Structures are given as C-alpha cells and as structure tokens.
Structure 1
Amino acid sequence: MTVHIIIYAAYVCVVWYSFMAILSLIGQYVIQRRYTHKPKPKSSSLPLTDIPGVSILRPLKGIDLELESNLRSSFQQKYPKFELILSVASSNDPVIPLVERLMKEYPRVDSRLIIGDKQVGINPKINNLLSSYNTAKYDIVWILDSNVHVDHDTLGRSVDLLQQPGIGLVHHLPMAMRPTSFAAQVEQAFLNTNHAKMYVAINAAGVASCVMGKSNLYRRSDLDKVGGLAAFGKYMAEDNIVGEALWSLGLRHAMSADMACQSLGSLTMNEYSARRARWVRLRKYIVTAATLTEPFTESIIAGCMGAWGASYLWPHRFNFVSFFIIHWCCWFINDYFIFCTLSSYSPVSSKKQLASTFNTSFLFAWLTREVMALPLYCFAMAGTEITWRHQRYRCLAGGSAVAL
C-alpha cells in the first residue's frame, strides 16, 4: 500500500512539474507575441462623435521617483477625448506645485486637481480617488498609480480592447525599471521574469480573475452594479476585489500590448523583503488557494518535485541531480529571454539599460530571488502585519485590515 502511495505521489510530482513547465513556456510565448508586435490603436483615429471619452484618475501622495515623467505620460496620451483628474489628500502635499506646473504646460489637456479625500474605509487609495471617481465626466475610467509610466498609445489600445464584447476590465503588465541597488535588481528580476510570465500566462488562460491595480480601465456603470468604488474602501488589495467583482458579473479581463512601468531606484534587502511579504499577506486572505500553491510554482520546489518524480519512476533514465541542474538552467534561460524582451520593448528602455541586461548582475539577482523565495514566503505566511506608505496595518480575513 505504501509503495502505491509513493508511486502515485511521484506521478503527481511529474504531472505538476510538466504543468509548470508548460505554463512557463506559455508565458514566454505570449510575451514574445504581444509585446514585440504592438498594434496601432484604432480608437484614437475615430471622430470625436464616435470615440468614447475616458477619465484618467491619478491618486498622488508625495514625490515618487520619476514622478514628473510618470505624470507627463498621462498628459501626452495620443487619444482625442480624455480628461485627467489628479488628486491629493492634503493641501500641504509637496506634489501640488508640480501638478500645477504640468497643468499650465499642457493647457489643451482637460485636467484638474482635486484636494481632499473622503474617508470611506481603511484603503487610502480609495479614499483619495473617491472625489475624482464621483465627478468624472466619462463612463470609462482609467485608474493609474502615481509611480507608473505608460506609452503614449496605451489609452487607445486599451479602449480598443474594452470595446470588445464581454470585456469589463483592461489592465497592463507591471514592469520594473531602472534599479540602482542590488536589492532593486532582485525586485526587477522577480517582476520581469517569474511574475511577468505567470501573470501573462494565467490571464491568457482566462480561467479566473488575476489583476494588479497599477493600471486598470473599466466602466463606472459596471462597477456601480456591485456597489461603486466606495464599496471597496474596506479592502487593502482593492485591485483583486474589483477584478473579482466584475468577473462575477460575467465580464472578462483583457491585457493590451502595454506595460505599467515603475522605476525602482534604490531598495534595501529589508525593503525588498517587506514588499514580498506584503503581497503574500494580502493575497492569503483574498485568494487563499492560489497563495497556498505559490511555493510549488517556484523553480526550486517545482524542479525538486520533477527531479524526484522522474528519478523514482524511471531511475535508469533520470538522475535527481542531473535533472535538477538541467531544469534550473532551462528555467533561467527562459526567464532571461523574458527579461530581455520586456526590457527591449518597454516604453522607457534605453541602450544603457539594455547593455546592463547582458552581464552577470542579472544572474546574481535572479539566483538571489529564487533562493530567497521560499524563506520569504514562510515568513510572510506566519505574519499578519504590513506597511503601506509608512502606515502599519494588520490584515484581516476577507481582505480588510485595521490600522495600527
């Protein structure tokens, strides 16, 4: 009986490993196809009478890294019918002079600044956005984080997708740029490899809602059917909850051939670890099943599962150590090509950045990320506290939280 259980477990390991390998290759394929061949937006060339208007909402707090460039990317959208609403919670926020200067620099852009938030829950981003959301003149809203830079055709391509039947949300691949410390390189290695291919592959499969809130478009008329934006103020990870709410209405999600680029600057290893822990601690209360399976999607555990299963079932063909070494080399090569592709076709790529792609720093950052993945996951699962914008919170069941 015990032997049968072990054989069954070995087959399960081989099947799971095969599934992860296929999923990784799907991510690689989709990234190569989507981000190297960006279509020309059709909506941007339509007459004003036929084109849907869009309200771009950008919540701000303080001076983020590369903030001026990020905000300019909104003013410079090549789309003939949009408004730009920028919002801050405090009248003393240092970002206000920058916003006012950009508004004067682009007088033809329909833009305005809203000062003051509405306290509807624990989520400061929702509180900041609510006045903008309620006063937006268009049904389509594009919520765009302050630390994100986008291509000038992003809005046009996104509206093209949102106009397709059955699509209720359009989002973009998060992309890390310009690290200036080793810990930031580790963060970039994670976001631009493992996270990117899994995020793209899961959305390509379309079996469930999988959304990050860096850059999202949807219709207010759809969101109002599930309570409006204010209903999500009690959640910390409102992006996941909003995506699932629209999914429950039968509205599917789409990703355009665009990226939500974030400059990382300098990070310490403690800051990197805190970011990873925050993501896991939020997800374990929202998508518990997916979070529990997360370690088995990593290269080390998945590789060990495949190596043990293959060497146990077919000992004359496979050796555990050889299998794992070959697996890890192939996994790295796959991630490396994904990293190069995204770096080459991002809207803020440069020759200097591309040159830095082809050196050993990426290898060391990738190895560090892979080795740290399981210890960080265990640390995150054991705790409940997160820090966001210098405020500490305790996560609660259902995705809500309380400030500490």
Structure 2
Amino acid sequence: MQIIELVLLILCLAAILFYCYGIYAAIAFFPHPHPIASQFHPAISILKPVCGLDRDAEVNLASFCQQDYPEYQIIFAVRDRHDPVIALIEKMIQQFSDVDMQLVVSDRIIGANLKVSNLANAVTAAKHEILLIADSDIRVGKDYLQRVIQPLQDESVGVVTCLYRSLAQGWVTTLEAVGTATDFHAGVLVNNQLSGIKFAFGSTIVIRQQALKAIGGFGAIANYLADDFQLGYLPAQAGYKVILSDYIVDHVLDTSTLADAIQRQIRWARCIRVSQPWGYLGLLFTYGTVTSLLLLIASGASKLSWIILVITWGMRLLMGWFVGVKILHDPVAKKFLWLIPFRDLISFGIWCQGFIGSTIEWRGQQLKLLKDGQIKAEV
C-alpha cells in the first residue's frame, strides 16, 4: 500500500505542476496577439465540406459569407444530391450574391474518410493559393479572415489553426464542452508553449496550397480518421511551421444522447492513442482529480491525502477557470465550472477505455482503426 500511495502522490504532484503550467501557458500566449497588417489580405478560397443540417446551420454558414475581407471565395462540397443542406446553400448563394460562392456536388470517393473526399472535390474549384477549411458547425465574426490570415506574413508558416469555444445544448454536450474548454484546450496551450503545435483542428485550418501539395494533397490523408490532425502534422514534418491563431471561433454543438457522446469520446481517445501514443499515455499525469481521490481512498483518508486532494482540486478548478472562462470566454465553462471534477472522472474512464480495442463507429460505419491512425471498413 505504501508503494501505491507513493505512486499516487507522485501523480498528484505531477498534475499540480501541469495545472500551474497550463495557467502560465495561457498567460504567455494570449497577451501577445499576432500583429494585424491592414495591407496584408491575400485572396482566400474557403472549403466547406457539408453533410446534412447541423444545429443553426444557416447562421453558422452565413457567418462565413459576411466577412470584412476584400477577396475570398466559398466552395461548399456535398456528396449526396438529395442532401437537405443543398436547398439552404442555394438560398445563401442567392442571398449573398456579392460573395463568390459555388456548390460542388460529387459522390467521388478517394478514401475511407468521406469528409476528405468532399474536400478533394471542393479544391478542384479553388481559385486561390491560400485555402481555409472549417467544419460546418463553426460560427465566426466578421473579422475572422483578417485575423486568422496574419501568421502567413511569415513565408515559412504553412498552416494556421484555431481554438474554439462551445455553444452547447443539453446536459450531455454541456459535459463535453466543459472538458474541451477546461482540459483539452489547456493541454493544447501547454503543448504550444513547450514545443509549438504540430497538428491542427477542424475548427479552422488555413493552409497554403504549396504545403498541401508537399504532403501529397488530400489523397495523403484520405484514409485517416483524424484528417484535421494530419493537415497540421504532415506539413510540420515537411518543414512548414504550424501556428496557433489567437482568434477563437464558436463551435455549435448538436444535442446528443449519452451513449452517442461516450461512443464519440472513445473514438477520439483511440484516435489520439494511435496518432500520439506517448502523448496519450502521458495524459495519466494530468488526471489529478482522479489520482488525488484514489490517494484519499488508498491512505484511509489520512490528513496528508486530504491536503493533497484540496490542493489538487483547487488548482484544477483554477486552471479550468483561467483557461475556460478568463481566456476563452467560454459561456459553458463559466456557468458549469463546478462540473469539472465529475467531467474528469468520466474522462478518465474514457481514457482507460481508449487503450482497449481498435474498432470504431463513425457516421453509421463500423471501421477498423489501424496503428498509424488510418481506417478501413470492417469486413
């Protein structure tokens, strides 16, 4: 028992250090916004892969049509000719007639990831060197393009990506949003502070066409589940810089059942495990909420274990407040900060489950997740 208690104590101390560094990383990053050069506004092609109608779909998509930016085009890509989103896109093309917009409908498939096939179909209509990819459930302000493009003033930058704040509906997605704002983004900021990020998020990926060609185009990621991760990782391996923008977009979450949410979280966990195996294992050192509770139980509720638990939970809540509320201004984190310990317990269970199995369910398909992060249909 003494050995177990010692191990748990070390894990608690490691978590406390992580929480402290997470606060520092957030402080170090956000007070230094990328300088905005009013004369730097290269033309941009926005690729929008869409499938079905997301929550608030019209508002989300319209936000990209209202940019205070001189020259950009939007290319919507849909696979199914009977998709209900097509009527909405056609309406928007009429409504925003001053914006260069078009719809590409094609069922051409280049790999197991159908979203990447959509992107490959869309890029054929792109007019400009700089591409911007954003998921259909993302909502932005009018200064979005002008802000996220700024890091490309440095010619060595190949990719720019963004953090996001969640707009949740229902208690299940609220729990997800709390974890994203107070834990996931804290980890990203720590990673960015330590070594710079070498991955990207589907919330926003600005990528030069030359960087995309250098990695083999969309065909190179057509069989990967985490296509957004690869669109940052592969250019970084090719020698391009990946920059985290200081612009924060809104992620509009659909309502979800608990079973669907857990399945989705397990899928992401397994995907991270195969994409970054050592990083995934290292998450153990961040679960101070759980390890301090286990220490309390293992020690028979000793005085020291109570002190460690209070300090650990206090620092966890402080990091969550600082990153989620103070920095990201996440409305869900602000309202439901008290859910962090409960969310951490669930997250730890999902983390453990992520080590087991390699079969995932995605968009109604049963897929096999391979060791390098690629996917193939189950026979």
- After TM superposition, the score normalised by the length of structure 2 is 0.89
| Distance of 2:123 and 2:142 partners within structure 1 | 23
| 1:5-404 correspondence runs (5 A) | 13=11, 16-17=14-15, 19-30=17-28, 33=31, 41-42=36-37, 45-46=38-39, 51-177=41-167, 179-301=168-290, 303=292, 319-341=304-326, 344=329, 357-358=334-335, 361-363=336-338, 365-404=339-378
Moved >4 Å (runs of 4+): 5-15, 301-308
2:343 maps to amino acid: R
The answer (yes or no) to whether the contact 1:141–1:218 under 8 Å persists in 2 is: yes
Q: Supply the distance in 1 between the matched residues of 2:186 and 2:67 (Cα, whole angstroms).
A: 27
Cα offset, 1:54, TM superposition: 0.6
1:380 Cα deviation after fit = 2.4
SS in structure 1 of the partner of residue 141 of structure 2: coil
Structure 1 residue 39, shift from structure 2 partner: 6.5
Whole-angstrom distance in 2 between the partners of 1:243 and 1:324: 37
Aligned AA (2:310): I
Give the distance between the partners of 2:291 and 2:20, measured in 1 at CA: 12
Is the deviation greater in 117-126 or in 102-111? 117-126
**Alpha carbons 1:162, 1:218 under 8 Å: kept:** no
Shift of 1:231: 1.6
Where structure 2 has 5 or more consecutive residues not aligned to the other structure, the ranges are none
When normalised by structure 1's length, the TM-score is 0.84
Total equivalences in the alignment: 374
Q: In 1, are the aligned partners of 2:289 and 2:316 still within 8 Å (CA)?
A: no
CA distance 1:61–1:77, change in 2 (3 Å): same
In the alignment, the residues of structure 2 paired with residue 371 and residue 6 of structure 1 have an alpha-carbon distance, to the nearest angstrom, of 19
Q: Any idea what the Cα deviations from partners look like across 1:12-64, whole Å, max 9, x if unmatched?
A: 65773454133222244246536xxx67743xx43xxx742110000000001
Identity %: 24
CA distance in 2, matches of 1:163, 1:149: 25
Cα drift, residue 76 of structure 1: 0.8
Partner Cα distance (1:195, 1:145) in 2: 18
Q: Is the 8 A contact 1:167 1:253 kept in 2?
A: yes
| Paired residue secondary structure (1:33) | coil
- The Cα of 1:9 is off from its aligned counterpart by 6.5
Cα deviation for residue 143 of structure 1 reads 0.6
Q: Distance in 2 between matches of 1:40 and 1:165?
A: 15
Contact 2:41 2:146 in 1 (8 A): no
RMSD over aligned Cα atoms:
2.9
State the distance in 2 between where 1:123 and 1:160 align.
30
Change (3 A) 1:51 1:385: same
